[in-house]
Amino acid sequence: MRQENLYDRYWELLGWLEYEDKPSEAIWHPLFYRYPWGLRFELGDPALDDDEAYFRVAEERAQRIWDAAFAAEDEVLLIFDGTPDKDLKAELKHLRMQRVRAKWLPHSPEDEWDGDYFYRYLYAGPASEFSFSALLERAFSWKYGIYLYNRTKKLLFHPYDDRGADLLGPDAEVLRPFYESLHDFLLNWDREEMARKFRPTRPVFLRILTTTTDPERIRVVRDKLDRKLRGAQVLRESCQPYWKLDGWGELSLTIESARPLDDIRSRLAGKWESDTASSEFLLPDVGFLWVSE
């Protein structure tokens, strides 16, 4: 039986690490600002003048995040940028390892790639077999990029240096427990943005008039809605013929979402409460659409 390629796990991560509504092709920095669902934590306290106290607080906070997000039995993929030093190789020698060639990324996806490569090391195993303190020491050195992918919980933890760390997930509900339990560590600068993303959910009602009642075509519309509104839970759903237009259907949905109505509207369509079907709608087979709380 073929052993799983660790690079497959890396691409699995990129599959939900969505960038601009599409699977990401790389890990873009800064993670919190590039991807839709993330938390940004402050590790080192800038008010501390004493270096020893500063790093002690940073280590304690990072450890608290690790302990909250990673259980001993969770399946973890370590993504280590650069060549591990001798001591770290000894710490990780009992884990599965694979070396891959990766691009040096430009500062943003809009910039041109300069053609350079580096080696990225992938290590896999249960969380209990990782020495988090050893990894944190390398992250705080500012020499390495370290990412810890919790494959069990679908979380990506990135302590970028002694100043802070990002924790990413595929949707709000995966991250909400950490937003609440680690609230004191959130970076003050971005608290308002995180509060907007993680406000309590409430029911939202969608009424979509479709140009078909064919179940297969309706399923296509539903699949696209799911991708556009990631993290929204469907509470109720029904589809019936629309009485005014022959062959049309009326798809009614009640979803549980934390997104503002304007955000939901902007994700779904370009025109609203229109009296004519429009080619500008982003979802195929959709005629009219209403959204309300």
Q: Between 82 and 65, whose confidence is greater?
A: 65
pLDDT above 70 as % of the chain: 88
Q: For residue 2, what pLDDT band results from cuts at 50, 70 and 90?
A: very low
Please name the helix (run of DSSP H) or strand (run of DSSP E) that holds residue 133, with its range, or none. helix 132-140
Most confident of 173-177, 178-182, 267-271, 276-280: 178-182
As given in the structure block, the two tokens for residue 212 are 């078909």
pLDDT tens digits for 107-116? 667 777 777 8
Count of Cβ atoms closer than 10 Å to residue 43 Cβ: 26
The answer to whether residue 81 scores a pLDDT higher than 70 is yes
pLDDT at 184: 94
Residue among 236, 222, 176 nearest 201 (CA)? 176
Taking the whole predicted model, whether its pTM rises above 0.85 is answered as no
Contact 74, 153 (CB under 8 A): yes
Domains of the chain: 6-197 (no CATH), 202-292 (3.30.70.260)
